[in-house]
Amino acid sequence: LKSKKTIKHIAFIMDGNGRWASKRHLPRNLGHKEGIKAMMRTAKACNKLAIPYVSFYAFSTENKNRDKSEVDGLISLMREHLDSIADDLSQFGARLNVIGDISYFDSDLQNKITNVQRSTQNIEDRVVNIALNYGGRDELIYAAQQYKGSKIDRPLCDFLYTAGQPDPDILVRTGGEKRLSNFMLYQLAYTELFFSDTFWPDFSDKELNAIIDEYYNRDRRFGK
Ligand code: IPE
Ligand code: IPE
Ligand code: MG
């Protein structure tokens, strides 16, 4: 049974950083900083579980509408941590792949993103997608625009940011909300969904393992 359900891709909507910080009377951006630690912990745990594709939703197209100070803070965190994130991932044989419309960011950050991806492009075993200025609807427009000019016999998924990757087997959303908030609208069609009340910075390996155990107990039918 387990082998039939091998996990090829797990995706995370990392929600609850702001509330984690507010609860402690800390600024929201400290919650985001703590969220990066939880992301790296989780990436490592997924690697130990030999899951080849891991995705993290870090900044949505709609998150740009937050207060300028929070958006600026989030972008500073990306600038500050991107190199070390890519470095740490490469330590355990994973390549950082940014998904989303990065043209929104200043050119120095765009270059940083391009460079870290280029410097680790030879790593093939594992991929960690980090979604930055990512929106599922935006991605479908991006895919459709490229599809238009190409042979019509190819599936639309070949043109998504995640082209060539398996669809997520598991989606975990922390922070208590039960919605997708514009994440991987196409890819999540048959994904097993898990919702946790834990605020993302507190997400632990223990909880991850419990989710995975439950996943193995679920019956995936794919409409059959
Ligand atoms: C998720 O945490 C991270 C981002 C969306 C950038 P939030 O910032 O949404 O935290 P809450 O939901 O307000 O607690
Ligand atoms: C989803 O969380 C986006 C990320 C985790 C990056 P949000 O906090 O933005 O979603 P809503 O506003 O609660 O739907
Ligand atoms: Mg939120």
Task: Answer left, alpha or beta for residue 202, where phi above 0 means left and psi between -120 and 50 means alpha.
Answer: alpha
Question: Does the Cβ of 184 fall within 6 Å of ligand 2?
Answer: no
Annotation says 17 is catalytic: no
Region of 149 (left: φ > 0; alpha: ψ -120 to 50; beta: rest) is alpha
* Side-chain-facing half-sphere of 218: CA atoms under 13 Å: 19
The answer, yes or no, to whether any atom of ligand 2 lies below 6 A from the CB of 181, is yes
Question: 14 CB less than 6 Å from ligand 2?
Answer: yes
15 a catalytic residue: yes
Q: For residues 82 and 112, what is the distance between their CA atoms, to the nearest angstrom?
A: 8
Cα 152 to middle of ligand 2, angstroms: 34
C-alpha distances out from residue 90 to 21, 95, 127, 130, Å: 30, 6, 10, 14
Rg (CA), the chain: 17
Quote the pLDDT of residue 4.
64
- Which residue among 17, 39, 72 is best mutated to probe the pocket of ligand 1, counting the most ligand atoms within 8 A of its Cβ? 17
Going by alpha carbons, the residue nearest to atom 3 of ligand 2 is 60
Cβ contact 156:143 at 8 Å:
yes
Each residue's pLDDT, cut to its tens digit, for the chain (224 residues) gives 455 689 999 999 999 999 999 999 999 999 999 999 999 999 999 999 999 999 999 999 999 999 999 999 999 999 999 999 999 999 999 999 999 999 999 999 999 999 999 988 899 889 999 999 999 999 999 999 988 766 667 889 999 999 999 999 999 999 999 999 999 999 999 999 999 999 999 999 999 999 999 999 999 999 99
Ligand 2 within 6 A of CB of 34? no
Nearest-CA residue for ligand 2 atom 14 is: 181
Residue 148, pLDDT score: 78
pTM exceeds 0.85: yes
